[in-house]
Amino acid sequence: MTGRSETLPATSRKPRSQAWWNAVNAWLLLLPAAVLLAAFTHYPILATIRQSLYFTKRNGTEVFVGLDNYRAMAADPIFWKALINNFWFALGTIPTSIALALLMALWVNRNIRGRGFLRLAYFTPTVLPMIAVANIWLFFYTPDYGLLDQLRGLFGLAGWNWLGEPSTVMGCLIVMVIWKEAGFFMIFYLAALQQLSPDLDEAAAVEGASRWYTFRRITFPLLMPTTLFVAINAVINSFKLVDHLVIMTKGGPSNASTLLLYYIYEVAFTFQDAVYAATLTVVLLVLLSTLALLKFGYLDRRIHYQ
Amino acid sequence: MSAIRLDHITKSWGTARAVDDVSLTAEEGSLLVLLGPSGCGKSTTLRLIAGLEQPDEGTVTIGGADVTHLTPAQRQISMVFQSYALFPHLSVAENIIFGLRVRRVSRGERDERLKRVADIVGLGHLLDRKPSQLSGGQRQRVALGRAIIAEAKVCLMDEPLSNLDAKLRHEMRTEIRALQQRLGMTMVYVTHDQTEAMTMADRVVLMKDGRIEQNGTPEQLYNRPETAFTARFIGTPPMNLIIEGGRQIGIRPEDIRVVSQDGRAARVKATEHLGADSIVLCEIDGQPVAVRQNGFSKTAPGDTILLGWDSIHEHQFDKTSGRRLDTAAGGVSQTVSG
C-alpha cells in the first residue's frame, strides 16, 4: 500500500505535464499566425472603431464625441453617393460575372478542339497587372481616337466621352470588371466541374433527362458550394476596387464613379481626415461582416457539400 | 420483345481496339454475364449497348429494332453503374423517382411506384436519407431501385457489386438474380468475378483483349473450356495446366486424386484448409498443381505424394494457340497424337 501511494504521484504527474507541454506546443505553433492576425487585422479593427468615436484636435489630443462622426457621415451626400454607386456597381458586376464564369467553364469543360487555348484566353485577364488592364481599357474608352469611338466612327456616329459622362462612366467600369473577374471565377467552376463524376451525367442521360434538365437539377445544385464561394469573393471585390479608379476616373465626373473604398482612400490620404476615414471604414466592415455571417450562418446549411 | 443482339461490333480508342468484332445475343428474359479481366472490353461493350458509346462498326438491336444510333433514353433501358452514380444532393426517394420526374409521370403514380419499389429493394424506412448517410449495401439498393422503377425490359449492370464486402456481395447476387427472374427483365451484367458469373448467369460471355473468348452456359464454360484462357479463368482454384510430353493438358483440382501407386510424383508446397475441403498446392516437375481433397487434408509441406486422374477428365489444348484440341462433346477426351 505504502509503495503504491508513493509511486502514484509520479505516474500521474507524467500525463499532466505532457498535456501541459502539448498545450504549450500548440500555442507556440499558433503564435506566428496569431501575432500577425492580431497585429495587422484585429488590432487595426479595434483601433478604427475607437478612432471613429473620437475627435482629434489640432494639438493632437483626442476627445470622445460618441456618435458625432456618424451623424456627420449621415449628412455627407458624397458618402451616400458612394454607397449607392457601390450598390449599383455590385449589382452590375456580381451576377453577370458569375453567370459568365459558369457559362465559360461549362464551355471549356467539354471535349473540344483548342480547349487549352480557350482556357488560357479566358484566364488571361486575371494574370495581367491591374495597372496595365486599366490603361488598356483607358485606351478603349478614350474619346474620338479610342477603340470604341473608332468603331462608332465606322457607323458615322460622333465621338463620346465614355469615362467623362456621369451617365456612362459606371457602365464602363462594370463592363471592365466583369471582363477581368469572369475568367478568374471560371477557374473555380472548372475545378468544381472536373470533380463531378461523369457517371452522374450518364445516369441522368439514361433516365432521359435533357442537358438543360441535368444542369438544372444535378450540375448546378452540386456547384452551389463553388457559387457561394465565388459570390462572396465577388462581393468583397466589388467593395475593394480602388486601383482602376485611381488610374481611370479618380471617382469622377462629379463622384459618378466614386466607390466606398475609393472615397475612404481619398478622405484618408487626400483630405488627411483620419477620423472620418475611420468612421467610413467601420461602415465597410459592418457591411462585409454581415455578408460573412449570412454565409456561415444561413447559406452553408442549405448547400450540399460533398 | 427485349432480346439484345450485337452484330460484329467494333470500337477503337485511337489505335487500340477496345471491342473487336463482337457478336452476341441475350435472349429475352435471360441474364447474360460479360466476364473478363480488367481491360478486356466488357464495360465498353455494355456502354455500347446502353448507347453511352457509339460503335465504329456493327449494329446493336434491342427487341428486334436497330438502336445503333439512338440515345440511351430512346433505347428504353435502365442501368446500374459501378459507382452507383447516385445524385448526392437528392434524397433516396428523389434519386429513385428521378426518371419518373423527367418523364412527367403524375404524382399519384409516382408515389405508388416508389412505394412498390421501396418495398422490393427494402428501403422503405430510408427514403428521406441522403446517399452519404447510407451504407454501401443500401446505396446499391437505391441504384437498383432507380433501375427497376422505370419498368424497362432491359437492365444493364456494370460491376454493381464490386464495391461491397464479400458477405453482402453474396446476398445481393441472389437478390439481383431473383429480381431479374421475377420481373422478367433481360439483363446484361458485367463482372470480373467468375463466381458471380457462374452463379447468376444463363449465359456467360468471356472476353479477352476485346474479343469473345467463349460464349456459353456456365456449365459449358466450366466443363468444356474452349481455350486454355477460359480454363484458367473459370473455377477456384482454376484448372491445372500441365505440359507433359509435348502436350498441354488441363485437369480440374477436384478430378485429381492422391493415390498410393501408379501416380505422378508431386511435392507438397502448402495446404489451404477451407473447412469442407482442402486445397493441396504441389508441384509436378516444377509445374504448380492444385488438388482438391475432401475434409481436412493431413499432407504437410515437403511431403511427396502420388497423384492420379482419369483420362476422361483430361482437357487438351494446343500449346501455341491455346485452343481446345478435342471436338467431342461432354468433356470425353479423345487421344490426340502429338
Calpha distance B290→B254 (Å, rounded): 9
Sign of the C-alpha dihedral computed for residues B21, B27, B28 and B34 taken in this order? negative
What φ, ψ does residue A76 adopt, rounded to 5°?
A: -90, 110
Please, which residues 50-109 of chain B have a Cβ atom closer than 8 Å to chain A?
A: 50, 52, 71-73, 77-79, 81, 83, 85, 87-89, 98-99, 102-103
Sign of the C-alpha dihedral computed for residues B84, B88, B91 and B93 taken in this order? negative
Task: Tell whether B46 lies on the interface with A, counting CB pairs under 8 A.
Answer: no
Residue from B13, B54, B77, B81 whose CB has the most chain A CBs within 10 Å, to mutate: B81
A48-57, A152-161, B16-25, B37-46: the lowest-pLDDT one? A152-161
* Mean pLDDT, residues B212-222: 94
As beta bridge partners, residue B289 has B282
pLDDT of residue A145: 80
Calpha distance B300→A211 (Å, rounded): 65
Min Cα–Cα distance to chain A from B318, Å: 42
Q: Which of B184, B164, B196, B255 is nearest to B27 (CA)?
A: B184
CATH 3.40.50.300 fits B4-221, yes or no: yes
Min Cα–Cα distance to chain A from B99, Å: 5
Calpha distance A89→A244 (Å, rounded): 13
Q: Do B99 and A222 touch (CB under 8 A)?
A: no
Q: What is the pLDDT of residues A223-239, one digit of tens each?
A: 998 998 898 889 888 88
Closest-approach residue (CA) in chain B for A207: B99
Q: Where are the domains of chain B?
A: 4-221, 240-331
pLDDT of residue A66: 79
A96-110, B287-301, B315-329: the lowest-pLDDT one? B315-329
Min Cα–Cα distance to chain B from A305, Å: 8
Q: Which of B5, B12, B16, B4 is nearest to B55 (CA)?
A: B12
The rounded percent of chain A whose pLDDT value lies above 70 is 95
Q: Which residues in chain A have their CB less than 8 angstroms from residue B72's CB?
A: 202, 205-206
Q: Are B59 and B25 in contact (CB under 8 A)?
A: no
Q: Do B87 and A218 touch (CB under 8 A)?
A: yes
* Mean pLDDT, residues B227-248: 89
Q: Which residues in chain B have their CB less than 8 angstroms from residue A208's CB?
A: 73, 99, 102-103
What does the block give as the cell for A182? 469572369
* Mean pLDDT, residues B94-99: 94
Distance from CA of residue B106 to its chain's centroid? 38
Sign of the C-alpha dihedral computed for residues A44, A45, A50 and A52 taken in this order? positive
Please, which residues 219-258 of chain A have a Cβ atom closer than 8 Å to chain B?
A: 221-222
What does the block give as the cell for B314? 483430361
pLDDT of residue A12: 52
Sign of the C-alpha dihedral computed for residues B86, B88, B90 and B93 taken in this order? positive
Calpha distance B196→B32 (Å, rounded): 11
Calpha distance B193→A65 (Å, rounded): 81
Q: Do B73 and A202 touch (CB under 8 A)?
A: no
pLDDT of residue B7: 94
Q: What is the pLDDT of residues B120-139, one digit of tens each?
A: 888 889 999 999 999 988 99
Task: Tell whether B33 lies on the interface with A, counting CB pairs under 8 A.
Answer: no
Q: CA torsion A295→A124→A110→A94, rounded to 10°?
A: 30
pLDDT of residue B328: 46
- Name the band, by pLDDT with cuts 50, 70 and 90, for residue A162: confident
Q: Do A207 and B98 touch (CB under 8 A)?
A: yes
Q: What contacts A15, CB < 8 A, 6 or more positions away?
A: none
As beta bridge partners, residue B105 has none
Calpha distance A248→B70 (Å, rounded): 56
Q: Which of A236, A238, A259 is nearest to A248 (CA)?
A: A259
- Indicate if the pLDDT at residue B148 is higher than 80: yes
Calpha distance A181→A96 (Å, rounded): 10
Size of interface A-B (CB pairs under 8 A): 56
pLDDT of residue A2: 44
Q: Are B16 and B189 in contact (CB under 8 A)?
A: no
Calpha distance B274→B161 (Å, rounded): 24
Pick from A204, A205, A304: which is nearest to B89 by CB?
A304
- Name the band, by pLDDT with cuts 50, 70 and 90, for residue A14: low
Calpha distance B61→B75 (Å, rounded): 10
Calpha distance B321→B108 (Å, rounded): 61
Please identify which residue in the block is written with the cell numbers 448467369.
B201
Calpha distance B82→B97 (Å, rounded): 20
Task: Tell whether A304 lies on the interface with B, counting CB pairs under 8 A.
Answer: yes
The rounded percent of chain B whose pLDDT value lies above 90 is 70
Pick from A199, A200, A209: which is nearest to B102 by CB?
A209
As beta bridge partners, residue B78 has B155
Q: Do A222 and B89 touch (CB under 8 A)?
A: yes
Largest CA distance in chain A: 108
Calpha distance B59→B49 (Å, rounded): 10
* Mean pLDDT, residues A120-129: 84
Enter the DSSP assignment of B226: S
pLDDT of residue A6: 47
Grouping H, G, I as helix, E, B as strand and the rest as coil, residue A20 is helix
* Mean pLDDT, residues A101-108: 90
As beta bridge partners, residue B26 has B4
- Indicate if the pLDDT at residue B336 is higher than 60: no
- Indicate if the pLDDT at residue A4 is higher than 90: no
Q: Which residues in chain A have their CB less than 8 angstroms from residue B110's CB?
A: none
Q: Do A208 and B79 touch (CB under 8 A)?
A: no
Residue type, B84: Y
Calpha distance B37→B194 (Å, rounded): 10
Q: Which residues in chain A have their CB less than 8 angstroms from residue B130's CB?
A: 304
Pick from B52, B83, B102: which is nearest to A208 by CB?
B102
How far is residue B76 from each of residues A205, B34, B180, measured CA to CA in Å? 11, 20, 16
Q: Which of B12, B29, B13 is nearest to B21 (CA)?
A: B12
B41-50, B182-191, B256-265: the lowest-pLDDT one? B256-265
Q: Which of B301, B329, B263, B100 is nearest to A217 (CA)?
A: B100
Q: Which residues in chain B have their CB less than 8 angstroms from residue A207's CB?
A: 73, 98-99, 102, 146, 150
Residue from B71, B78, B87, B148 whose CB has the most chain A CBs within 10 Å, to mutate: B87
Q: Do B50 and A206 touch (CB under 8 A)?
A: yes
Q: What contacts B231, CB < 8 A, 6 or more positions away?
A: B225, B238, B239, B241, B250, B315, B317
Higher pLDDT, A164 or A259: A259
- Indicate if the pLDDT at residue A161 is higher than 80: no
Min Cα–Cα distance to chain A from B80, Å: 8
- Name the band, by pLDDT with cuts 50, 70 and 90, for residue A306: low
Give the architecture-level CATH label for domain B240-331: Beta Barrel (2.40)
- Indicate if the pLDDT at residue B30 is higher than 90: yes
pLDDT of residue A217: 93
* Mean pLDDT, residues B193-203: 93
Q: Are B330 and B238 in contact (CB under 8 A)?
A: no
* Mean pLDDT, residues A84-93: 91
What φ, ψ does residue B263 adopt, rounded to 5°?
A: -125, 175
Q: Which of B173, B217, B216, B214 is nearest to B193 (CA)?
A: B173
pLDDT of residue B338: 34
DSSP H stretches of helix in chain A? 2-37, 43-51, 68-74, 77-108, 115-127, 130-141, 147-154, 166-195, 198-206, 211-214, 220-222, 224-240, 243-248, 260-265, 274-294, 300-302
Distance from CA of residue B157 to its chain's centroid? 11
Mean pLDDT score across all residues of chain B: 90
Q: Which residues in chain B have their CB less than 8 angstroms from residue A205's CB?
A: 52, 71-73
A91-105, A140-154, B134-148, B322-336: the lowest-pLDDT one? B322-336
Min Cα–Cα distance to chain B from A255, Å: 47
Q: Do B88 and A306 touch (CB under 8 A)?
A: yes
Q: Do B87 and A304 touch (CB under 8 A)?
A: no
Calpha distance A272→B139 (Å, rounded): 65
For chain B, helix, strand, coil in percent to 5 are: 30, 35, 35
pLDDT of residue B164: 86
The rounded percent of chain B whose pLDDT value lies above 70 is 96
Grouping H, G, I as helix, E, B as strand and the rest as coil, residue B131 is helix
pLDDT of residue A13: 55
* Mean pLDDT, residues B141-168: 90
Higher pLDDT, B85 or A141: B85
Q: Do B87 and A202 touch (CB under 8 A)?
A: no
Q: Do B89 and A221 touch (CB under 8 A)?
A: yes
Q: Which of B116, B83, B84 is nearest to B100 (CA)?
A: B116
Residue from B48, B89, B154 whose CB has the most chain A CBs within 10 Å, to mutate: B89
What does the block give as the cell for A303? 448547400
